[in-house]
Amino acid sequence: MDRNQALERVKPELTEHRFVHTIGVMETAIDLAMRYGADVKKAELAAVFHDFAKFRPKSEMKQIIIEQNLGSELLLHNEELWHAPVGAYLVEKEVGIVDSEILNAIRFHTSGRPDMTLLEKIIYVADYIEPGRHFPGVEEVRELAQKSLNEALIKAIQNTVVFLMKKKQPIYPDTFLTYNDLVKNLEVEK
């Protein structure tokens, strides 16, 4: 599937604002993939489809999470997390993409996970820093992404955790595990 086919397929699933965001994520993911030596085509496709399920009804997403055993703990946390694993499932079933690297990059772009692959890190960071994003801390993460993908990811997770804590919202356990894994690995690298 080429870029135009992918964008054509995803556009009806998104609002105009989210489609513009998706293009920004795609362009950022391509840049990061080139910078860090990842498969550019896979980064492009994962970015295009990362929000495929974003606007599906919550009841449909909940049903898919239960029926496909995507993790009942998801249902105990913010519904904003649901579209990532549900999106990976739907991209495989409805679009026909079966590449596990692409599907996992979609699946973990909101929560992260320990031992993230390069492609997973790229999609997570690209979603966070795409040019249309404007919130406290994003510029610092953009700067870090030019030097170290891991440092950018750590800072993005820190910002997200602090944001959720200020709002007194629960934090998905995999996000903490991702942070711990990244910090431990960063210490080993030094």
Are 132 and 28 in contact by the 8 Å Cβ rule? The answer is no
Q: How far apart are CA 189 and CA 172, in angstroms?
A: 27
Q: What is the pLDDT of residue 158?
A: 97
Whether the per-residue pLDDT at 187 is higher than 80: the answer is no
Q: What is the pLDDT of residue 188?
A: 65
Whether the per-residue pLDDT at 60 is higher than 80: the answer is yes
Chain centroid to CA 117: 12
pTM of the predicted model, to two decimals?
A: 0.96
Per-residue pLDDT reduced to its tens digit, 137-160: 999 999 999 999 999 999 999 999
Q: What is the pLDDT of residue 82?
A: 96
pLDDT band at 186 (very low <50, low <70, confident <90, very high): confident
pLDDT band at 72 (very low <50, low <70, confident <90, very high): confident
Please give the span between the terminal C-alpha atoms of the chain, in angstroms, as a whole number.
40
Mean pLDDT of the chain: 95
Domains for the chain: give ranges and CATH numbers: 3-135 (1.10.3210.10)
Mean pLDDT of 77-90: 95
Question: Tokens 């496709």 appear where?
Answer: 45
DSSP string for 89-150: HHIIIII----HHHHHHHHTTTT--TT--HHHHHHHHHHHH-TT--STTHHHHHHHHTT-HH
Contacts of 3 (CB under 8 A, 6+ apart): 26, 44, 48
Q: What is the pLDDT of residue 189?
A: 60
pLDDT band at 190 (very low <50, low <70, confident <90, very high): low
Higher pLDDT, 77 or 37: 37
Q: How far apart are CA 88 and CA 64, in angstroms?
A: 11
Q: What is the pLDDT of residue 51?
A: 98
Mean pLDDT of 1-21: 97
Of 44-53, 71-80, 162-171, which gets the smallest average pLDDT? Answer: 71-80
Q: What is the pLDDT of residue 77?
A: 87
